[in-house]
Amino acid sequence: MLPLPPSSSSIPTCMRIHRTRHDRRIMREIRKFARLYDISVRFATGYQVRAPDGMLVDGFFDPPHKNKKGRLVIGGSRRERWYWISTVAHEFAHLLYWVFRGYQPGRSYFEQEFHAEILADRLLAHWGVHKTIRTAHRRNASTYLAWTLKTYSGKKRQIRNLHHAQLRLSM
């Protein structure tokens, strides 16, 4: 016989999979903000979503092209809350860079992801999420950045940047 699932009250909020009222407000605000820039927003239930380049990812931001609407797509609506909201913050960070700077800072993919993770961390603080979620995000971001570096390049300067990023994320 399978063990009974724990009652929802015994699961810490950050590990629950349902969205809180606060999350729904964040989702609403993101939709409203994105609409101003002709960007559609989709919160998908699948664990991962298919990016324009065909890759399976947690989420992606595709800015508007000539006559194509922009898209912000975030998967994992049924994942643990901390993972989901950290993905929301990361992809929204890409959108914010595009809106306010017109481009993503950083010359390499690693550097762009590094900037997105730092801004995502600030967004999580701004949204007032619980500190356990921020800690989980930072840990996950460090791992992700290390993976990005290994996968996409291996230059010395970028390794220094990784240490710099990890330091900033561990504060």
**Which residues lie near Zn ion (CB under 5 A)?**
113, 116
Which residue of the chain is nearest Zn ion when measured via CB?
A: 116
Are the beta carbons of 18 and 28 closer than 8 angstroms? no
| Helix axis angle, 109-126 to 81-101, nearest 10° | 110
CA dihedral 114, 28, 42, 121 (to 10 degrees): 10
Least distance (Å) between residue 88 CB and Zn ion: 12
Token digits for 72? Answer: 């912000």
Residue closer to Zn ion, measured from CB, 25 or 150: 150
Residue closer to Zn ion, measured from CB, 116 or 119: 116
Neighbours of 140 (CB within 10 A): 17
Are the beta carbons of 72 and 40 closer than 8 angstroms? yes
Residue closer to Zn ion, measured from CB, 53 or 67: 53
Least distance (Å) between residue 24 CB and Zn ion: 24
Least distance (Å) between residue 60 CB and Zn ion: 8
β-partners of residue 49 are: 57
Residue closer to Zn ion, measured from CB, 23 or 117: 117
Amino acid at 168: R
Residue closer to Zn ion, measured from CB, 16 or 115: 115
Least distance (Å) between residue 72 CB and Zn ion: 12
Least distance (Å) between residue 3 CB and Zn ion: 37
Helix (H, G, I), strand (E, B) or coil at 150: helix
